Structure 1
Amino acid sequence: MIKVQTKWLERAQRIQAIAQAGLAFSKDVYDRERYEELMKLSAEMMVDYSQTDIEVITDLWKRESGYPTPKADVRGAVFRENQILLVREKHDELWSLPGGFCEIGLSPAENVVKEIKEESGYDTEPSRLLAVLDSHKHSHPPQPYHYYKIFIA
């Protein structure tokens, strides 16, 4: 469920996604101009509500092309003797399950094995999928993209 205070973010993301898809598939010069205008409006909405520089937002949007889809993030739940492995996140120094964004060419299981090794030094073997969560269906801090978080034991 989307909280009222983040409806602006959902709308800005949706406008950006429509513009991105339109730019990816439209051949008509006038339609492309309209999609560029939508892209600009979505960036302005993000700036107005997030107090982020317009250059940062437009740079995020420029990196995206093709049909927009949610990004995938994997997390590994490593248990041993009734304890769970946690690592410190570099960006905020808080404790978290090891993991990160999925890389092209690797399955979610291969990604989580790689992330656990990089972040903790442990070699692991995935055993089962625990959950797939949609960031838009849970309370998360506002983010510019839509994510699916995949938890693997």
Structure 2
Amino acid sequence: MEPKWLEWAKQLQSAAQAGLAYSKDIYDIERFEEIRKISVDIMVHYTGIEKRIIKDIFAGDRGYPTPKVDIRAAVFKDQSILMVKEKSDGKWALPGGWADIGISPGEAAVKEVKEESGIDVKPVKLLAVMDKKCHSHPPSAVHVYKVFIKCEIIGGQLREGTETSAAAFFAETELPPLSAARNTESQIERMFSYLKHPDKPVYFD
């Protein structure tokens, strides 16, 4: 679970962002700007990250605050699952990334798999929708919903991508070191459970 200071900072940031989006009174706007500043100061104090960077990634959005959406593809071959090695941390994850404006979750899964692994797929089933804070990921400054989609291979060849240095298939008992910010061991295990039990209902939390 997230530390309390991070939970409070995100709640303050969310309230400030909503207030700034809808307030008309100049004094209310000043108050919400102050609340946003407090949320940034909390993040700077506990993380040690430069205030400019915190303001850009944590308090830079406008409009009503909503969770970000991370799409992950579960692609199986011969009882093994496709994973890609992230250049950013040298560890492995299911192909995926942030959902893009203008394309569906299924289209996003197809796009990410191709870009990160070279494999062509088609989306076939929604497997899970998870709130990142409910799982054993490292603390995150943004609230994230993770969408897992089963995809079938229709072509392509394994290769590295712009953000990935390798792509390979792994058996459930031979998983590589995982990029914990992107996926956890229990999430990968749940993907394999759908391979074994295709009629298992969609998981959500």
TM range (shorter): over 0.9
Please list every run of 5 or more consecutive structure 1 residues that lacks an aligned counterpart in the other structure: none
Question: Which position in structure 2 is the counterpart of 1:29?
Answer: 26
The amino acid of 1:34's aligned partner reads R
Question: Which position in structure 1 is the counterpart of 2:173?
Answer: none
Question: Which position in structure 1 is the counterpart of 2:44?
Answer: 47
Matches of 1:63 and 1:35 in 2, distance apart?
Answer: 14
Matches of 1:80 and 1:40 in 2, distance apart?
Answer: 49
Question: Which position in structure 1 is the counterpart of 2:10?
Answer: 13
Matches of 2:134 and 2:78 in 1, distance apart?
Answer: 32
The amino acid of 1:43's aligned partner reads V
Is structure 2 residue 69 aligned with structure 1 residue 82? no
For these two proteins, the number of residue pairs brought into alignment is 150
Is structure 2 residue 156 aligned with structure 1 residue 147? no
Cα offset for 1:61? 4.0
Give the structure-2-normalised TM-score.
0.71
Q: CA RMSD in A?
A: 1.0
Which one has a larger percent strand, Structure 1 or Structure 2? Answer: 2
- SS of the equivalent of 2:123 reads coil
Percent of aligned pairs sharing the same letter: 53
Matches of 2:40 and 2:135 in 1, distance apart?
Answer: 24
Please list every run of 5 or more consecutive structure 2 residues that lacks an aligned counterpart in the other structure: 151-205
Change (3 A) 1:62 1:46: closer
Give the structure-1-normalised TM-score.
0.95
Deviates more, 1:29-38 or 1:82-91: 82-91
Question: Which position in structure 2 is the counterpart of 1:72?
Answer: 69
Cα offset for 1:62? 4.8
Cα offset for 1:77? 0.5
Cα offset for 1:50? 0.7
Q: How does 1:90-129 map to 2 (within 5 A)?
A: 90-129=87-126
